[in-house]
Amino acid sequence: MLTVALPKGELLKNSIRLLQSVGLDFSAFLDATNRQLQITDASGQAKGLLVRGQDVPVYVEYGQAQLGIIGYDVLREKQPQVAQLVDLHFGGCRMSVAVKAASTYKSPLDLPPNGRVASKYVNCAREYFQNLDLQVEIVPLYGSVELGPITGMSEAIVDLVSTGRTLQENGLVEIDVLYHSTARLIAHPLSYRLNTGNLHRLVEDVRSHILSSAGNR
């Protein structure tokens, strides 16, 4: 039986809606009274696992799930050994460098040498500043990274931005964008190669749905 890893949080509703369009119904995960972390689709074709977003590629890489849905930001940061199959065109956001609006920094190159940058995306932030040949200290934070510049612990942050409202309300502005991120359909490479659980048909159904939806916009 095919197993699909689904991310808790903002991507869940659209992920379930997408899978419903190709015949897999995991809508029970949206029931606030449901505490199950594993359910079987009503048709009996597949199982769904409800996991923390950062863990989706882990379950897929280790073969506990043949398919998964997760944001490109997680894939870029973790670089798991999974097959990236389809851009699902939802969950759009961007990875940005932000600083205090009142600061004199208008570009990342204005940041002081050996300055501090707070981020939960440590690998992406480090790679970005290395490519700029700018020596900075990356400070790992996993809560409200906006507090870094506010408290003076860091000159800047690297974080996901959707609407920009959180930055604005905390007196921060974006000064560069590292990349744009959307949800992606991923697969365990060997399972995809072997067409486990008729995986190819499901992936093609997803591709067709995405193309059809794009054409109707």
| CATH at residue 62 | 3.40.190.10
- Provide CB contacts within 8 A for 202, sequence distance 6+: 2, 22, 24, 67
Give the global pTM.
0.92
User: Are residues 128 and 112 part of one domain?
Assistant: yes
User: Are residues 199 and 147 part of one domain?
Assistant: no
User: Are residues 164 and 203 part of one domain?
Assistant: no
Q: Is the pLDDT of residue 79 over 80?
A: yes
CA distance 152 to 116: 10
pLDDT tens, position by position, 108-144: 999 998 999 999 999 999 999 999 999 999 999 998 9
pLDDT tens, position by position, 157-173: 999 999 999 999 999 99
Number of compact structural domains in the chain: 2
pLDDT tens, position by position, 101-110: 999 999 999 9
pLDDT tens, position by position, 22-69: 999 999 999 989 899 999 998 888 999 999 999 999 999 999 999 999
Q: Is the pLDDT of residue 21 over 90?
A: yes
User: Are residues 69 and 45 part of one domain?
Assistant: yes
Query: What pLDDT is attached to residue 197?
Result: 86
Average model confidence (pLDDT) for the chain? Answer: 95
User: Are residues 202 and 149 part of one domain?
Assistant: no
Query: What pLDDT is attached to residue 215?
Result: 63
User: Are residues 44 and 16 part of one domain?
Assistant: yes
User: Are residues 172 and 112 part of one domain?
Assistant: yes
User: Are residues 150 and 48 part of one domain?
Assistant: no
Range of the domain at 16: 2-91+182-215
User: Are residues 191 and 149 part of one domain?
Assistant: no
CB 159 within 8 A of CB 94: no
How would you write the chain as a 3-class SS string? Answer: CEEEEEECCCCHHHHHHHHHHCCCCCHHHHCCCCCCCEEECCCCCEEEEEECHHHHHHHHHCCCCCEEEEEHHHHHHHCCCCEEEEECCCCCEEEEEEEECCCCCCCHHHCCCCEEEEECCHHHHHHHHHHCCCCEEEEECCCCCCHHHHHCCCCEEEEEECCCHHHHHCCEEEEEEEEEECEEEEECHHHHHHCHHHHHHHHHHHHHHHHHHHHCC
User: Are residues 153 and 116 part of one domain?
Assistant: yes
Q: Is the pLDDT of residue 216 over 90?
A: no
